[in-house]
Structure 1
Amino acid sequence: MTMYVTFRKDRCKGCGLCISVCPKEILALEEETNIKGYRPAVCTDMKACIGCAGCAKICPDSIITIEKE
C-alpha cells in the first residue's frame, strides 16, 4: 500500500517538528522558500512512508495530510 504525504506548502512555517518525529527520516526542508519566506517541509521518499501520521499530529498548523492509495 502506497502512502501519500502532502504539505500545504504555502502555509508551512518550516518549524521542523514533523522532521523530528518521522521514524523513517524521510522529511526535510526544501531549499526554496514559500510565498511567506519560509522553507516548507517535504517528503523525500514517498515509497518509504509508513503512514504513521506522527508528522500530521505534531504539526501546529495542521498543514499535513496522509492518504493511502
Structure 2
Amino acid sequence: MSRIIVDETYCKGCGLCVDACPLGIVELDTERINAKGYHPAHLVDEERCTACCSCATMCPDVAITVERF
C-alpha cells in the first residue's frame, strides 16, 4: 500500500502530476484552495497507488512525497 502527500504550501496546481500519473488517480482538488490561491493536487484512490513516483518526479516545486508501507 502507498500514498502521496502533497505539501499544499508549495503546490501551485500546475497539473503536471495529474498528467504524469499512469493510473489517473491524482487530481486537482477543485473544492479547495490553498493559501496561494491554487487548487492543490490530491490522491483520489489510495488503494490503487503503486508508488511509481511519477507524480513526485514531475512536480517542479517538490511538493509531493511518496510513502510506501
Could you tell me the TM-score, scaled by structure 1's length? 0.94
CA offsets, 1:21-42, max 9 Å, x none?
A: 1011001111210011000000
Which 4+ residue blocks in structure 1 deviate beyond 2 angstroms? none
SS at match of 1:19: helix
**Cα offset for 1:53?**
0.2
Q: Distance in 1 between matches of 2:54 and 2:16?
A: 10
**Cα offset for 1:10?**
1.9
Could you tell me the TM-score, scaled by structure 2's length? 0.94
What is the RMSD computed on CA atoms of the aligned residues? Answer: 0.7
Structure 1 unaligned spans of 5+: none
Structure 2 unaligned spans of 5+: none
| Number of aligned residues | 68
